[in-house]
């Protein structure tokens, strides 16, 4: 949106006409102030050129595009929370059903889509659907914006085809892992909401929906976070737990209480201030949150911790044992 907002505006028009909608609201994050101004300028230019508004593009179809912005709440990315925020209330998700396609914004039928999907639609129409489907494996076709961050040599955002091997993605575009591929500890392939995968899985996994689901993780938002051997992985996941605790809207009990509880336990796991059975308690806690919440933030908070326990349990046990051993050696200093 800094450099090519018109793609999104055109995509909105195409999507709206395809659905016979009368208006589109682009919900942009509150923190993206300069990008929002850019987008508003692009929308105004489109109106001035007659591409939007009454008789859009001279086709006889009326279509309006409005830019709305939030004010710093991650939960407003969830579709019903977005609708609540657009209506001017707190961004607390609604129960589904009724789905937004039946009762959405202001009670009217609405669809909430990701801007990446909408922005790629003009190109698909220009080049043909077969061209787009030629990228990636079956059921996983098309391109995706991969944001590679963390311990790589040159972090970047690339639009790559789906089903690209993870190793090739990182080595070609991000300059490889800091210190060489063997310095890799774990990768989170899809942003904060998906479990991490350790190095032996990363060696040959493909970046698409099916392959990552088979590895008990997910593609998510394709925000690849790379962690090398210098990382304190328990600290990284604890920080994610804090993020979810901060961003929880507070509506339903499993998420509101669960995210706080998860964070407190993870903080103790960082220094090993726990007993071994508490790892199982942590696992059970994530299972209690997952699937029992109004929206998917509960699942998103639970999954990274599950990934940590699944793949890095020995590391967590090691910390607990070491701390217990040091407490036995120096009982006078152990205040617990």
Q: Give dist(CA 276, CA 284) in Å, integer.
A: 14
If one asks whether residue 246 binds other proteins (CB under 8 A), the answer comes out as yes
- 161 Cβ neighbours under 8 A, 6+ residues apart: 135, 136, 142, 143, 144
Element (H, E) at 218: none
| 95, 101, 133, 156: which one binds other proteins (CB under 8 A) | 156
Query: Which residues lie below 8 Å from residue 206, measured CB to CB, with a gap of 6+?
Result: 137, 163, 164, 165, 166, 212
| In contact, 211 and 138? CB cutoff 8 Å | no
CB of 157 to other proteins, least distance (A): 4
Q: Which of the stretches 10-18, 53-61, 72-80, 111-119 binds other proteins when contact is defined by CB under 8 A?
A: 72-80
Our CB check for other proteins shows the closer of 202 and 240 to be: 240
How far is Cα 268 from Cα 282, in angstroms, rounded to an integer?
11
Instruction: Name the residue nearer to other proteins (CB basis): 21 or 158.
Output: 158
Among 7, 94, 144, 173, binds other proteins (CB under 8 A): 173
Of 168-176, 200-208, 252-260, 320-328: span binding other proteins (CB under 8 A)? 168-176
For the chain, the distance separating the N- and C-terminal CA atoms, rounded to the nearest angstrom, is 51
Tell me the CA distances in angstroms from 309 to 46, 89, 250, 283, 321, one per residue in order.
51, 37, 26, 7, 16
Options 55-63, 243-251, 312-320, 322-330: segment touching other proteins (CB under 8 A) = 243-251
Nearer to other proteins, 68 or 321 (CB): 68
With CB under 8 A, what is the number of residues at the site for other proteins? 57
Task: Establish if 192 lies at the interface with other proteins (CB under 8 A).
Answer: yes
Among 48, 62, 87, 322, binds other proteins (CB under 8 A): 87
Q: Which of 163, 162, 225, 153 is nearest to 195 (CA)?
A: 225
User: Using the rule CB under 8 A, is 243 a contact of other proteins?
Assistant: yes
With contacts defined by CB under 8 A, name the span among 50-58, 89-97, 206-214, 309-317 that binds other proteins: 89-97
CB of residue 275 vs other proteins: minimum separation in angstroms? 26
Listed ranges 45-53, 109-117, 148-156, 209-217: which one lies at the site for other proteins (CB under 8 A): 148-156
d(CA 300, CA 255): 10
Q: How far apart are CA 218 and CA 188, in angstroms?
A: 9
d(CA 170, CA 207): 11
Contact positions vs other proteins (CB under 8 A): 2-3, 25, 29-34, 66-74, 85-91, 106, 126-128, 131, 147-151, 154-158, 172-175, 192, 223, 225, 227, 231, 236-237, 239-240, 243, 246-247, 249
């Amino acid at each position: 949106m800094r450099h090519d907002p018109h793609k999104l505006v055109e995509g909105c028009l195409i999507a709206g006409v395809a659905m016979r909608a009368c208006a589109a609201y682009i919900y942009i994050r509150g923190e993206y102030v300069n990008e929002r101004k850019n987008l508003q300028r692009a929308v105004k230019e489109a109106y001035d050129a007659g591409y939007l508004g009454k008789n859009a593009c001279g086709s006889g179809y009326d279509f309006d595009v409005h830019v709305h912005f939030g004010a710093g709440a991650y939960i407003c990315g969830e579709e019903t929370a977005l609708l609540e925020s657009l209506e001017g209330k707190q961004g607390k998700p609604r129960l589904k059903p009724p789905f937004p396609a039946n009762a959405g914004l202001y009670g009217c039928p609405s669809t909430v889509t990701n801007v990446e999907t909408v922005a790629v639609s003009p190109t698909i129409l220009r080049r043909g659907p077969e061209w787009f489907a030629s990228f990636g494996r079956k059921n996983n076709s098309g391109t995706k914006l991969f944001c590679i961050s963390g311990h790589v040599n040159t972090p970047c955002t690339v639009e790559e085809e789906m089903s690209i091997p993870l190793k090739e993605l990182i080595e070609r575009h991000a300059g490889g892992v800091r210190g060489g591929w063997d310095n890799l500890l774990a990768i989170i392939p899809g942003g904060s909401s998906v479990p991490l995968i350790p190095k032996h899985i990363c060696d040959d996994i493909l970046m698409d929906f099916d392959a990552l689901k088979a590895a008990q993780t997910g593609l998510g938002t394709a925000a690849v976070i790379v962690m090398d051997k210098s990382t304190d992985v328990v600290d990284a996941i604890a920080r994610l737990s804090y993020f979810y605790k901060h961003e929880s809207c507070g509506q339903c009990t499993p998420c509101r209480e669960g995210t706080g509880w998860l964070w407190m336990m993870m903080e103790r796991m960082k220094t090993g201030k726990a007993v071994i059975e508490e790892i199982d308690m942590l696992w059970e806690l994530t299972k209690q949150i997952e699937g029992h919440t109004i929206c998917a933030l509960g699942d998103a908070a639970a999954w990274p911790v599950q990934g940590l326990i699944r793949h890095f349990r020995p590391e967590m046990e090691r910390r607990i044992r070491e701390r217990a051993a040091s407490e036995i050696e120096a009982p006078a200093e152990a205040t617990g």
